[in-house]
Amino acid sequence: MSKPKIVLSRCFISPVRYNGGIVNDDFIEKLKSYINYIDYCPEVDIGLGIPRARIIIKIDGEQKKLIQPETGRDLTDIMINYVNKVLNELKDIDGFILKSKSPSCGVTSAKLYKNNAIIGKTDGFFADTIKKFFPYLPVEDEGRLRDEEIRKHFLIRIFAFSEFRALNSNPSLRGLVEFHSKYKYLLMTYSQKNLKELGKIVADRKMNLEDKLLQYKNLFYQAFIRKPSIKRHVNTLLHLIGHVSKKLTTKERTHLINLIEKYSKGLVEIRVILELLRSLSFRFENEYILIQKYLDPYPDELNV
Ligand code: SF4
């Protein structure tokens, strides 16, 4: 499995917070061994010191401004110039993990002020611009990643995008065909429409490899935008079982179907069914199921 390249807020790495602190987060600590990362601290990078007076996002007419109340400095333009410069230079990134609640890095969690009152939550300046530059990449903060479903969705995306980058750096038609086969059931879960379109791209004999990869990339990244529902997982599981069901005894088949029904009601974890499916695939030597990324979208160790 290739290593995703992730942008991290620097305060997960070193003590750069406004108060000179560092952020310790168990999941990010664990994740570091499985990714390559680049870190940024927008506030330090624009020249604010450590420690520094706090900054806030203030609404001024229609516009959001980045203000340092203690000094009265308006940091809006300097921050906008900085984030545009950094993001223009960023390449080959699979996702972002930023620090929650920060007026620079927070993802929908920075306080928004009007006059001296908090009127809601918003994206920090860095997070806001990242979302505009990279609409198909996952952008999360450590707070949101504590939710198991959001975390899984994030991991699935960063590892899928990283594998696609690996294919792109060593492109071949055979590689693309194999890639598409491995991702078939994961894509089916996320977007049946995109799965169908992607299949057409792979099979198109008139299209050259370069065009195929370009078109495939766009649809592949788009496919993963929305977290799939339980109903979609159930559909995928039933399709997967179809590959082995003829070889199962009636009792085994009924047991599997019952497990899927329990999963749909939230009584059984999907992992239980996937492991059973994996064991059956080993028993029946079904390589096609065993290569599916749906069973193995990211390293098991990250299931915390
Ligand atoms: S939240 Fe962002 S700006 Fe604030 S210390 Fe962390 S990296 Fe720097």
Rounded Cα distance, 158 and 243, in Å:
28
Rounded Cα distance, 222 and 232, in Å:
17
pLDDT classification of 303: cutoffs 50, 70, 90: confident
Backbone angles phi and psi of 11, in degrees to 5: -70, -5
Q: Which residue has the higher pLDDT, 103 or 1?
A: 103
Encode pLDDT of 257-283 as tens digits. 999 999 999 999 999 999 999 999 999
Q: Is 194 in the pocket of ligand 1 (CB under 6 A)?
A: no
pLDDT classification of 180: cutoffs 50, 70, 90: very high
Rounded to the nearest angstrom, the distance between the alpha carbon of 223 and the centre of ligand 1 is 31
The encoded tokens of residue 243 equal 């590959």
pLDDT at 244 over 80: yes
Does the CA dihedral 101-103-104-109 come out positive or negative? positive
Q: How many CB atoms lie within 10 A of CB 61?
A: 6
**Residues 53 and 71: beta-carbon distance below 8 Å:** yes
Question: What does the DSSP assignment read for 111-143?
Answer: EEEETTEEEEEE--HHHHHHHHH-TTS-EEETT
β-bridge partners, 63: 60
Q: What average pLDDT does this structure show over 188-212?
A: 97
Rounded to the nearest angstrom, the distance between the alpha carbon of 68 and the centre of ligand 1 is 15
pTM value?
0.95
Rounded Cα distance, 151 and 304, in Å:
10
Place of tokens 């239980």: 272
Q: Which residue type occupies 183?
A: Y
Q: Identify the pLDDT of residue 296.
A: 93
Q: What average pLDDT does this structure show over 19-32?
A: 96
pLDDT at 20 over 80: yes
Place of tokens 């940091």: 75
pLDDT classification of 46: cutoffs 50, 70, 90: very high
Q: Mean pLDDT check: name the lowest of 136-140, 176-180, 242-246.
A: 242-246
Backbone angles phi and psi of 267, in degrees to 5: -95, -15
Q: Is 104 in the pocket of ligand 1 (CB under 6 A)?
A: yes
Residue nearest to atom 8 of ligand 1 (CA): 41
β-bridge partners, 9: 40
Encode pLDDT of 112-163 as tens digits. 999 889 999 999 999 999 999 999 999 999 999 999 999 999 999 999 999 9
Rounded to the nearest angstrom, the distance between the alpha carbon of 248 and the centre of ligand 1 is 55
Cβ-proximal residues to 127 (8 Å cutoff; 6+ apart), any chain:
96, 98, 104, 105, 106, 107, 108, 110, 139, 141
**Residues 162 and 2: beta-carbon distance below 8 Å:** yes
